[in-house]
Structure 1
């Protein structure tokens, strides 16, 4: 039986990554099994309608909502986006109530933003099962790592922790937690916070997924033809991404003929370049800056393994893509990457303090750098795991079973 489902997806846009991609793929593939209505922002209208004109999706309907122009003149790009998102949820309450009166939904689900410490308009529909998530954001960088962030990083972490705590105390967020029939948490850390807020049923469910086209593209990347081992990190160069740990571990590994490629840009780049110089590895650590996706995938195809030492990450897109490409992942045993990486597909390092973490990362880098069979074997397991767990049709199939159990 096809259910009538209402999704809240503030971020939802075709052919995009990150949260807009989560919203679009969630809705697109859920409509293959159910009749789906999606509440999203009005500025997503053109991209969505253009895509549906080219590729119609039966059973998929969109409703567009935004604050009136006079109430959003102050929002410019990403500036003010968190406050705007909060207001968008509250002003959407009468919209979803009216929709439910007309359509009589069987179930409603909040999809994006993937953020547990903000309210959802769907929590104000009292008479229908409400699934909250996937939501994340409950991850925190362990305190022993804070001194390595510098003053700016410490201020960021302090403000983030304060904002998150205030969100947990917000009466609208508390109502969202109480109303959730089921919460889908992206990580165990978020799951713990949701339970403390009063959510009765919580399940770990990653928000990340790949389309069949993306899986085909990534799995087709050949094994590296480099004679020397190449490690790669990919992402914005931010303090909490832990690239400094990767550089220190690479230097400590003692692999004189290996290379470490860092793709991405951000405020930490100069500090990371100075660190590589101080450690005497500038000839083997290469910064490529921000690259187009095609160029980044080409370099991914030339590497042997991904180093992803993020200290608080709800997802880990780079990890998922590397695994799909058959590259083992070296990550910390924290957040989303730790959920994705299994013993057969990579390594998870405990993050107790910087010295211990760097030492264990260095040993793993050394191990992979001296064993061709190991990274190949892990890479084959990685491809199989992603095909099974991260393909959007398979993820939606799992969710559909949860729907029927409500």
Structure 2
């Protein structure tokens, strides 16, 4: 049994997305190893609360937690996504120095998240076998999906961030050191491999997962068609496509069928006002239920009572996709390096990235096919269930971690990543 030091910027047992991934990956590592988990101080109350609420978990005896942050007066400037990522970079650097001075002496070290391929980890300075990842890649939002909808300011902000990323990819010596010092790099998709120009010592494995939910009993959905979309209301998530694709589908239904159909959007964010405006323009505001925020247990009830999941996001991952598939929900998404690589390759619900209005039309057509074709809906539900069972349960991540840790610690032996 090895002692693994895991650093994770975001860890919270009660949240979703990055926080949920951080916590669940730590739990999976605990099954086979002693874990020293290091995260930010703001995550301490939730972690301690969860451990107290679950004394039955015998693995917690092998968990030691440390919390590191800059003083509050030193991070008042950390506002907005760009400044937050700059703080994340500096947090990684100062954390490694802090850990070097603490001399915890693990067998290997693992920088777990923030799922991006342009800010390096500095854990290699600890002189231990070093695992980096999951490392993800977010492409810039295609121009046709951002400029006409969200305006020049949002477009320029997105392109400025892309320029900054390129500076790190091609000019940051610490990023070069990180990828060359890492014994194993866990990549979320091929795009990360290509952007980092990796040749060896990497594995491609999704970061997102969700355990199968059996405790939520859905209502009788025989006479309803409930479409669900969950996420932060920002341009990256493509909720404008969700609304317009739904509107084209809904407005072309016979009046008797419209009563069976609904769309629920669960999430909050700066694009909320614009999305409400789009819903009004498309004359479907009264049919769409906007929910600002819900606890995770309430979100699970939404999944349980949905017919399908609509998620035309431009991101490089998407925690909500395996969550939806854990409830057997078919997923309509763009055919990209993010959600498009999470759904079953044989699914017929992938939407080609095209010009804006052809994409809206394609989404509406996918909804029509599922609404009018019950065998197709049943087939896609089965595909989602099988895909989740094969690839998106947390124990699959645990087996991958065990293999990666063994390889990193015994790199010069006959151990293989394959």
**Within the alignment, does 1:62 sit opposite 2:60 as a pair?**
no
Residue in 2 aligned with 1:251? 247
Q: How many residues align?
A: 395
5+ residue gaps, structure 2, are: 409-418
Residue in 2 aligned with 1:290? 293
Q: Please, which of 232, 235, 240 is the counterpart of residue 236 of structure 2?
A: 240
Q: CA RMSD in A?
A: 2.7
**Within the alignment, does 1:229 sit opposite 2:225 as a pair?**
yes
TM-score, normalised to structure 1, is 0.87
**What is the rounded CA distance, in whole Å, between the counterparts of 1:344 and 1:186 in structure 2?**
20
**What is the rounded CA distance, in whole Å, between the counterparts of 1:285 and 1:226 in structure 2?**
20
**What is the rounded CA distance, in whole Å, between the counterparts of 1:359 and 1:382 in structure 2?**
23
SS in 2 for 1:139: coil
TM-score, normalised to structure 2, is 0.84
**Following TM superposition, by how much is the alpha carbon of 1:325 offset from its aligned partner in structure 2, in angstroms?**
0.9
Question: Is the 2:111–2:133 contact (alpha carbons within 8 Å) kept by the matching residues of 1?
Answer: yes
**What is the rounded CA distance, in whole Å, between the counterparts of 2:265 and 2:13 in structure 1?**
28
Q: Please, which of 346, 357, 363 is the counterpart of residue 361 of structure 1?
A: 363
Summarize deviations over 1:94-142 as a string: whole Å, max 9, x none. 333345x552x433211022222112121324x4332210022432222
Higher relative contact order (CA 8 A, sep 6+): 2
Residue in 2 aligned with 1:5? 4
Residue in 1 aligned with 2:114? 113
**What is the rounded CA distance, in whole Å, between the counterparts of 1:185 and 1:262 in structure 2?**
30
Question: Is the 1:262–1:287 contact (alpha carbons within 8 Å) kept by the matching residues of 2?
Answer: yes
**What is the rounded CA distance, in whole Å, between the counterparts of 2:221 and 2:110 in structure 1?**
45
**What is the rounded CA distance, in whole Å, between the counterparts of 2:302 and 2:11 in structure 1?**
29
**Following TM superposition, by how much is the alpha carbon of 1:306 offset from its aligned partner in structure 2, in angstroms?**
1.0
Residue in 1 aligned with 2:157? 156
Residue in 2 aligned with 1:372? 374
Mapping of residues 6-405 of structure 1, within 5 Å: 6-54=5-53, 55=55, 57-68=60-71, 71-72=74-75, 74-75=77-78, 80-98=83-101, 103=105, 105-125=106-126, 127-148=127-148, 149-168=150-169, 169-195=171-197, 198=198, 200-211=200-211, 215-217=213-215, 220-222=216-218, 224-225=220-221, 227-253=223-249, 254-256=252-254, 257=258, 258-311=261-314, 313-343=315-345, 347-405=349-407
**Following TM superposition, by how much is the alpha carbon of 1:199 offset from its aligned partner in structure 2, in angstroms?**
5.8
SS in 2 for 1:131: strand
**Following TM superposition, by how much is the alpha carbon of 1:341 offset from its aligned partner in structure 2, in angstroms?**
0.5
SS in 2 for 1:119: coil
Pick closer, same or farther for the CA change 1:246–1:64 going to 2, 3 Å. closer
Question: Is the 1:331–1:338 contact (alpha carbons within 8 Å) kept by the matching residues of 2?
Answer: yes
**Following TM superposition, by how much is the alpha carbon of 1:305 offset from its aligned partner in structure 2, in angstroms?**
0.9
**Following TM superposition, by how much is the alpha carbon of 1:366 offset from its aligned partner in structure 2, in angstroms?**
1.0
Pick closer, same or farther for the CA change 1:65–1:270 going to 2, 3 Å. closer
**What is the rounded CA distance, in whole Å, between the counterparts of 2:286 and 2:10 in structure 1?**
41
